[in-house]
Chain A
Amino acid sequence: LAKTTQPISMDSYEGQEVNITCSHNNIATNDYITWYQQFPSQGPRFIIQGYKTKVTNEVASLFIPADRKSSTLSLPRVSLSDTAVYYCLVVSKHGSGNTGKLIFGQGTTLQVKP
């Protein structure tokens, strides 16, 4: 199982770009990287998923270097409503080592200030 490491917390201001990096040194060949956002007392919300290079959707971008040992979630022009906990999760493809035992790290608490 690929263990993930993220900063415990980050502060930012409205309108800034925020980059949150996750380390996953023992990621396996068939593992994907997924990021979630969680507000207090709510279930985690899927943000973005990628395998390599760069993935972009309407809310975020995900940068994965060639060695795939880390990934960076980029949130453009954050607002107060982006204050939340962000988790990265390494997910294995079943039949190639997926045990379904998905282990979340401690997450990064992002505080956006006005």
Chain B
Amino acid sequence: EAGVTQSPTHLIKTRGQQATLRCSPISGHTSVYWYQQALGLGLQFLLWYDEGEERNRGNFPPRFSGRQFPNYSSELNVNALELEDSALYLCASSPDPGSSGNTIYFGEGSWLTVV
């Protein structure tokens, strides 16, 4: 069974541009989470999507946005890129949030470098 897949693996953008990152959850999972992890730092919660709706977001400016498609895959968009946005962006998925345990599984991440 395929795990959480993310693309692209690496992305280099110029300050002020937009970046789009993509995530495919594990088959059967309806929830998708996005995290930002700057080099050497911890995981910062960005967004949570479930059943196509944004359910919660972390303390990030509105230029961080995303969506979840009917097939439960998700996109993270970062507008007006700043140098500080350079980080590993991690996507995770979990089954129906109502299920017991709600185990979350992560992808390998997308490295975004802003120059």
Contacts and interface: CB of A to CB of B under 8 A. Distances in A.
Nearest to A30: B100
Nearest to B3: A43
B43 to A, nearest CB: 4
A83 B37 CA distance: 19
B58 interface: yes
Interface of A: 32, 34, 36, 41-46, 49, 51, 87, 89, 91-95, 98-107
A91 B101 contact: yes
23 contacts: A42-B109, A43-B90, A43-B92, A46-B105, A49-B103, A51-B101, A93-B98, A93-B100, A94-B96, A94-B97, A94-B102, A98-B102, A99-B48, A99-B56, A100-B31, A100-B56, A100-B97, A101-B48, A101-B58, A102-B33, A102-B45, A104-B43, A105-B42
